[in-house]
Amino acid sequence: MKTLIFDCFGVLVVSQREFSNMSEIFENRWILNEKLLNFIRKEKKNGSKIAVLSNVAQYSFNQFFSEEEQAELFDEVVLSGNEGVSKPDARIFEIACERLGENPENCVFVDDSPENVIVAKNLGMRGIVYADFEEFEKEMEKF
């Protein structure tokens, strides 16, 4: 059984296009990463624990995932807006592991930020810097 922890923006929810400046970020349209969500559904059926660890508020997260979808897809949702601590602070990674009932060594953390993945690895997690689904699949084969 695997324990997988995913970031939200840039991983579960992806940009439809690249942006060249900060103002374009706010105009950008974000879409669900359906390939990754289908992977998560398959992993859940196979007994894996799945969590979200993201620096967003509950309100923002709820815009993409209904309560029903959250219950279907994720065993735990750890959001900085609810916890009062955010990545890259090691404490929020520890909170995610505690909620999952797992040691960091049993977890794979997936984020588009190399800095956040380094923190996870320093705590003992395995880590993947997410760029696209195909690369993610190749990296997951190592685990």
Residue 49 has a pLDDT of 98
DSSP string, the chain: --EEEE-TBTTTEEESS--SSHHHHHHPPEEE-HHHHHHHHHHHHTT-EEEEEESS-HHHHHTTS-HHHHHHH-SEEEEHHHHS--TTSHHHHHHHHHHHT--GGGEEEEES-HHHHHHHHHTT-EEEE-S-HHHHHHHHTT-
Residue 22 has a pLDDT of 47
Residue 1 has a pLDDT of 66
pTM, entire model: 0.91
Residue 139 has a pLDDT of 95
Residue 29 has a pLDDT of 73
Running along the chain, 143 residues long, what does each successive block of 10 average in pLDDT?
92 73 56 95 97 94 94 97 96 98 97 97 98 95 87
